[in-house]
Amino acid sequence: MSIQEPAVESGGDDANRSRRSLLYATAILLVLMLVMSVAAHLVQLRPAALIGFPVMMIGATALILILLYLVGPRPEAAEGDAVRTVVRAALMPAVALDAQTGRVLAANDEATTMVGPARLAPGNHFSDLFADDSPEKACRRIFEEAVERGQAEADACSMRTHTGAPVVVRLMARLYPAADAGTAGFVVVGFDGNEANDAVAQFARVQERLMSNISHELRTPLNVVMGFSELLTTGTLGEMPDKQLDAAAECHEGGERILRLINDILDVGRSRSYYLAGEEHPIAPLQMIRRIENLLAGQARRENLQVEMNVEPGLPEISTEERAFKQLVYHLLLSSMDRSQPGGAVRIAARQDGEELVLTVTDSGPELTEPIRVGRVPSVSDDAARDTLAPPLLGLPLCAFLAERLGSTLTVSTDQDGVHFEVRLPRERS
């Protein structure tokens, strides 16, 4: 973070120097008054002048002392001036936080313009600066890490501007210890949007190339292999012994499983797939949920999380967009995993309630204090979607949008078992 170092230490010193200068001037004035009073006595001025002159000097001195008391800097004001000086010296939007409570002390004009004065009001907590769709642990822990280590950084953190629009920023935090050993000092957090947005765009380009390679290098050859295996199993290329026929059938079934996995990866991993509405057709909820759970099983193991499934047996099929349903389940699970601590559990449940499928994802993360804002993904043509590289939305706002696309809403409730994200999907779209 580019912050002028001398500003941290000079804030209180400049104030103390100004206070000492006024005190010296007052002392000199008192000495002059004493000298002139003695001189007036020696030259034997009239009693009225002898009394009136010292009274006038004493009154002027008292006035100076009163003004000095009223306008002179206090120790706590000097500390506040130091905080404001550091924040204003930052070459990017920045906010100062109390090192003990994590609450806002001051913010520079750039940060106020970007985030808005309401969120940066003194006394607000640091976590209030994040958008609902920023569950990244590194972003929310940057304050604690700065207090522990002296400085910390986090990339690709989602915040909201004063207009409510999401913006991805890179956070840089630094601890400034207090001059008094009995206090904790303050932490300055700066956020740079340009570098983070460039990184997101670069990531999106790499992601799109990866998805294209998966589609071209894996799915296309796999379709050819499955085509030949189907010809063998159906006897189109001639009769085969039973053992060879069984081997060809197993080859075909294994290819179908891999093809489904590739299609799932492309559906949830390709940015442009979120811009295109799919066709509705009957799907089996249990099968789809299991496929998405398999996609996230590796990440859950790496983060020491358990993903528990509680799906009601015998769930009937529902008529909906398969791709949007998979995207919804994927991002609900992913958001809850990001909100959970290592060693915790994320539970996904599905049950039938009348003519609706009730899908619930539960985690042990912090309670949401603000309603989930529904994001908007514009509908574009397939050709335009091919040129769209940036992810349309992130996290819970994307889940809310996908729920609306499927004819439902995303609701949140909290109890002793955790935070529950619930979606009610109709069996048939009207």
Neighbouring residues of 90: CB distance < 8 A, sequence distance ≥ 6 = 1, 2, 3, 108, 188, 190
Q: Is residue 353 part of a domain?
A: yes
Question: Domain range holding 319?
Answer: 275-430
Q: Kindly state whether residues 402 and 279 are assigned to the same domain.
A: yes
pLDDT (mean) for 109-114: 84
For residues 100 and 177, state if they share a domain: yes
Distances (CA, A) of 24 to 19, 38, 61, 64, 68: 9, 21, 12, 12, 12
- The mean-pLDDT minimum among 65-79, 260-274, 350-364 falls in 65-79
Q: What are phi and psi of 380, to 5 degrees?
A: -130, 170
Between residues 60 and 329, which one has the greater pLDDT?
Answer: 329
Half-sphere exposure of 404 (CA within 13 A, CB side): 11
pLDDT at 77 over 50: no
Whether 72 and 92 map to the same domain: the answer is no
Inside any domain, residue 309: yes
Residue 351: other Cβ atoms inside 10 A: 14
148 and 69 in a common domain: no
Q: Are residues 279 and 395 in the same domain?
A: yes
| Number of compact structural domains in the chain | 3
Q: Kindly state whether residue 28 falls inside one of the protein's structural domains.
A: yes
Q: Residue 168's domain is classified under what CATH number?
A: 3.30.450.20
Q: Verify that 126 and 49 share a domain, yes or no.
A: no
pLDDT at 70 (0 to 100) = 58
Among 25, 51, 76, give the residue marking a domain's end.
Answer: 76
Residue with tokens 């069996």: 427
Statement to judge: residues 297 and 387 lie in one domain: yes
Q: Is 418 among the domain residues?
A: yes
Question: CB–CB of 159/166 below 8 Å?
Answer: yes
Task: Tell me 393's DSSP state.
Answer: -
Average pLDDT, the chain: 75
Alpha-carbon gap, residue 67 to 62, rounded angstroms: 9
Q: Answer with the residue of higher pLDDT: 79 or 149.
A: 149
What are the residues whose beta carbons fall under 8 Å from the beta carbon of 141, sequence distance 6 or more? 152
- Tokens 């409510």 map to which residue? 164
Predicted local distance difference test score (pLDDT) of residue 139: 75
Has residue 206 been placed in a domain?
A: no
* Residue 283 and residue 416 in one domain: yes
**Residue 3: is its pLDDT beyond 50?**
no
The lowest-confidence range among 27-36, 344-353, 396-405 is 27-36
Of 199, 214, 243, which residue is a domain's last? 199
- For 184, the token pair is 């904790």
Q: Give me the mean pLDDT over the 152-161 stretch.
A: 76
CB atoms within 10 A of CB 117: 11
Do 95 and 56 sit in the same domain of this protein?
no
Token pair belonging to 100: 């003990």
User: Measured between alpha carbons, how far is residue 283 from residues 286, 289, 360 in Å?
Assistant: 9, 11, 18
Q: What is the pTM assigned to this prediction?
A: 0.52
Closest C-alpha to 408, from 377, 374, 365:
374
Q: Examine the domain organization and report whether 62 and 98 are in the same domain.
A: no
85: tokens are 């000086």
Is residue 79 over pLDDT 60? no
pLDDT at res. 111: 84
Of the listed ranges 135-144, 193-202, 230-239, 401-410, the least confidently predicted one is 193-202
- Same domain membership, residue 101 and residue 62: no
Q: Which DSSP category does 218 fall into?
A: I
Is position 220 within any domain?
no
Among 105-109, 260-264, 332-336, 390-394, the minimum mean pLDDT is found in: 390-394
Domain CATH for 396: 3.30.565.10
Q: Residue 361 pLDDT more than 90?
A: yes
pLDDT band for position 10 (cuts 50, 70, 90): very low
Q: Give the bridge partners for 357, in sequence order.
A: 352, 425
Of 143, 177, 199, the one marking the end of a domain is 199
Residues 378-389 pLDDT 10s = 555 555 555 554
Q: Are residues 72 and 96 in the same domain?
A: no
Q: Which residue, 152, 219, 221, is CA-closest to 187?
A: 152
Q: Is the pLDDT of residue 56 over 90?
A: no
- Does the residue 211 lie in any domain? no
Residue 218 within a domain: no
CB 190 within 8 A of CB 126: no
